[in-house]
Amino acid sequence: MRPGPSALLFCLPLLACAQADAPQTPPLALDCGRSFEAQVAAVTAQPLTKAPGDPAEPYDYYSTADGKASYLVTRDGAPGHPAIMMQQVRGGEVVTTGCPYGDKAGYEQLHAYLDSLKSWRRKSPA
C-alpha cells in the first residue's frame, strides 16, 4: 500500500512538536468493549479535526488540536472493517493501538500500514 494524502495527514500532526498554550483534555482512550458504532460516536464527540477525505482510501482520519493523538476509522471496503485505530505520542514515540471488530488479518494489514507511515519520508528530487 502506498500512503495517500489523507494517511499522511493522519501521521504528520503526531510527528510535530506542537506546544499547547492551555492544558488539553487527554484524548479518549479506545475501549474495545464498546461496539464499533458506540466507539466511533465517543471518539468523534471530542473536539477533533477531520482530515479531508480521499475517495481512494476507505478511512476517516481525526486528530486532536495539539497533534498528539489521531484516530483512523474504517469505512466499507477497508481492510479489517470495521476497525478503529489510534496513534498517540508517548515518550517521543508514536504508539499505534486499535480495536479490531472485523477480519483480524485485515486489521493486522491496516496496523502494519499505519506503522509504516511513521517512517515515511518524502524523497528529495535528485
Choice between 5 and 87, residue whose per-residue pLDDT is larger: 87
| Cα–Cα distance measured from residue 47 to residue 79, given in angstroms and rounded to the nearest whole number | 27
Return the DSSP state at 4. P
Q: What is the pLDDT of residues 53-102, one digit of tens each?
A: 888 889 999 999 988 899 999 999 999 999 999 999 888 888 999 999 99
d(CA 74, CA 78): 6
Using the Cα atoms of residue 67, residue 73, residue 75 and residue 78 in order, give the sign of their dihedral. positive
Domain range annotation of the chain: 5-15+29-117
61 forms beta bridges with 72
pTM: 0.76
The rounded distance, in Å, linking the Cα atoms of 108 and 20 is 33
